[in-house]
Structure 1
Amino acid sequence: MSAQGLERQTRHYLSNNVPQIQEHGGHFEIEDVNEETGEVTVAIGGACSGCGIAPMTMKAIRRRLADELDGVSEVTVRRAGGPRAAVMPDKTSEMEEMEEYTDYSPPF
C-alpha cells in the first residue's frame, strides 16, 4: 500500500471513528506515514491541547489504529504544539482512581 493510501485510510478512520475530536473543538493532523514500516504519526490539537483527558484519547487512537487498519504497525500520537497551545494537566491518573471511571473507555 502506498503512503498516500495509508494516510487516506488513517484520515478516514479518524474522521469516522473518532468524531468526538472535531465535535469538541479539536482537530487531528497526520504528520507522517511510512509505508514501508507501517508507522503513522498523528497530532491532536485545538481543544485537545487543553483537554485533561486527551491522554486517554491518544491511548485509544494508538491502540485502535494499529488494531483496525491493515498496514499500520505502530502509531505515535502527540499533542500539537505551538505558541498558543494551552495544555491542561493530565487528568488520566486522577480519573483512573475515581469509581465512576473504573470501566471508562472513550466512546470511539
Structure 2
Amino acid sequence: MSANGLERRTANYLSNNVPQIQQHGGHFEIEDVDDETGAVTVAIGGACSGCGIAPMTMKAIEHRLPEELDGVSSVTVRRAGGPRAAVMPNKTEEMEEMAEYEDYSPPF
C-alpha cells in the first residue's frame, strides 16, 4: 500500500466520520504518513484550536483511526500552527490535562 493511499484513506475517514471538524469551522491536515510503520500525524486547527471539546476529538481520532483503518498503527494529533491556529490555546492545553477527558468517547 502506498503512503498516498494511506493518506487518502485517512483524509476520507476523517471527512466522513468526524464531519463536525469542518461543520464547526475547523480543519484538519494530514501532516505525515509513514507507510512502513503505519504512523500518521494529523493537525487540527481553525475553530478546533479554541474549542472546548478539541482535546476529546483529538483523543478519539488517536484511538479510532488505528482501529478503523488497516495499515494505521499509531496516530498523533496536534494543533495546527500558523495563521489558522489557536484562538484560545492556553485554555485547551489546560483542558487536555483534566480527568474528565481521559475516558470520554464521543459518538464518532
**TM-score scaled to structure 2, two decimals?**
0.85
C-alpha distance in 1, partners of 2:72/2:4?
13
C-alpha distance in 1, partners of 2:104/2:57?
11
Structure 2 residue aligned with 1:100: none
Tell me which structure has the larger Cα radius of gyration. 1
C-alpha distance in 2, partners of 1:63/1:85?
23
Written as runs of structure 1 = structure 2, the 5 A alignment for 1:34-53 is 34-53=34-53
Equivalent position amino acid for 2:49 in 1 = S
Equivalent position amino acid for 1:6 in 2 = L
When structure 1 is superposed on structure 2, of 76-85 and 56-65 the one drifting more is: 76-85
Structure 2 portions without partners, runs of 5+ = none
C-alpha distance in 2, partners of 1:64/1:107?
11
Q: Which SS does the other structure have where 2:43 is aligned?
A: strand
Count of residue pairs brought into register by the alignment: 102
How large is the RMSD of aligned CA atoms in angstroms?
1.9
Equivalent position amino acid for 2:40 in 1 = V
Higher helix share: 2
Structure 1 portions without partners, runs of 5+ = 98-102
**TM-score scaled to structure 1, two decimals?**
0.85
